[in-house]
Amino acid sequence: MIKLNYRSIFPTLLFILNLCLSISALAQQKKTTVKVEKSGISKVLFGTIEGIKIYEYTLKNNKGMLVKVINYGASITDIITPDKYGVMGSVAFGFDSLKSYTGGQNALMGAAVGRVANRIANGKFTLDGKEYVLTANIHGGKKGFDRHIWNAKELLVSKDVVLKMSYFSKDGEEGFPGNLNVTIVYTLTPNNELKIDYKAITDKTTHVNFTNHSYFNLSGGKEENVLKTVLSIQADEYLEADRGNIPTGTLIKVKGTPLDFTTPHPIGSLINESPALKSGNGYDLTYVLRNQSGKLALAAKAYESVSGRTLSVYTTEPGLVFYTGNHLNPGVIGRGQKPSAKNAAFCLETQHYPDAANQPKFPSTVLKAGETYQSHTVYKFSVVF
């Protein structure tokens, strides 16, 4: 039997205890010395259109996340978030100059889309017995919301950083009836959430369906395409569409098809499994979200392993358009004069279904005088280590 001499080992035990306490103190100190940024809004002149100044507004929260927006098209020009190492990087595509946003190859980059986002069959609809013919069948017409100058107002609400954009769309604009007052509120929270709140009122029955057309690549520039990004979508059905991508009115189950994202998997893993996806260079379709309540709920979640960034999308909308930048090409010169490429980014556009104006079985996009249109979407950014 071994007899311990406690007096002889006590100094060693005391040393080990002090060492553990020191390490714990250092770890605690490291936690409490995380840099806290000063939140707020700043702006710089981005250019002029017919003498009207266009500004780029930068929203910054207390964690250093940045969201940049211009008052042309109420467009999001950049989103900068930390990766798993704390390194800040751009996760949203954009342009360096106003000329690129006003040009023909703007790809709706980061734009607010309306009066009716997506497609309307044959560019016309009938409302209250009258037929309305539009200037184009997609994204609000030839000069939709993305081609107009918006009024901007900077706000600070509690700890949130807020930018309010407003626009008055005249009766008959692009063929749509009714004078429409529109506001879009961009809110950056301390939790790295970008909230987008839409509101509209009209003096005549019309159709409205708004969305944002931001392109995401969560790698922060480390990956040339998004095919390895893991995605899940809260939808068991999608809208069948014809060759013009106009919905037929039929809802199809995703189970057993390459369109099934109910279980998370890489975006590019099943593209070659479907001739339609392969010929179209990727995804471009509307998912029927499980949540049809009009209340805010999770719609999709994307994870990029190189950066560790995660994007969670919440919305009150019934549909989600998933688009993998199939038509991005070298002619679309992005930030830093870098040419774009197909599948270089993806869009998760929250909205009502395309062609709802001509599909009575779809959730309605009709807005009547005296009613208020409201829609809420949240893009939440986080990291996984």
pLDDT at residue 29 is higher than 80: no
Distance CA 192, CA 170 (A): 35
**CATH number of the domain encompassing residue 237:** 2.70.98.10
Residue pLDDT, tens place only, 53-102:
999 999 999 999 999 999 999 999 999 999 999 999 999 999 999 999 99
pLDDT at residue 205 is higher than 90: yes
CB 285 within 8 A of CB 241: yes
Asked whether residue 22 is domain-assigned, the answer is no
pLDDT at residue 264 is higher than 50: yes
Asked whether residue 10 is domain-assigned, the answer is no
Choice between 100 and 5, residue whose per-residue pLDDT is larger: 100
Which of the residues 139, 148, 207, 213 is marked catalytic?
A: 213
Asked whether residue 102 is domain-assigned, the answer is yes
Residue pLDDT, tens place only, 222-260:
999 999 999 999 999 999 999 889 999 999 999 999 999
User: Can 349 be counted among the known catalytic residues?
Assistant: yes
Asked whether residue 16 is domain-assigned, the answer is no
Which of the residues 173, 174, 317, 349 is marked catalytic?
A: 349
Surface-to-core class of residue 231, CB atoms within 10 Å of its CB (0-12 exposed, 13-18 middle, 19+ buried): buried
pLDDT at residue 322 is higher than 80: yes
Residue with the two structure tokens 């009575």: 360
Asked whether residue 313 is domain-assigned, the answer is yes
What is the domain extent for residue 197?
40-383
Asked whether residue 340 is domain-assigned, the answer is yes
Asked whether residue 21 is domain-assigned, the answer is no
At 273 the pLDDT is: 84
Distance CA 60, CA 163 (A): 11
CB 68 within 8 A of CB 78: yes
Asked whether residue 4 is domain-assigned, the answer is no
Considering its fold, how many domains does the chain have in total? 1
Q: State pTM to two decimals.
A: 0.90
Distance CA 324, CA 107 (A): 12
Q: Average pLDDT, stretch 183-189? A: 98
At 14 the pLDDT is: 41
At 2 the pLDDT is: 40
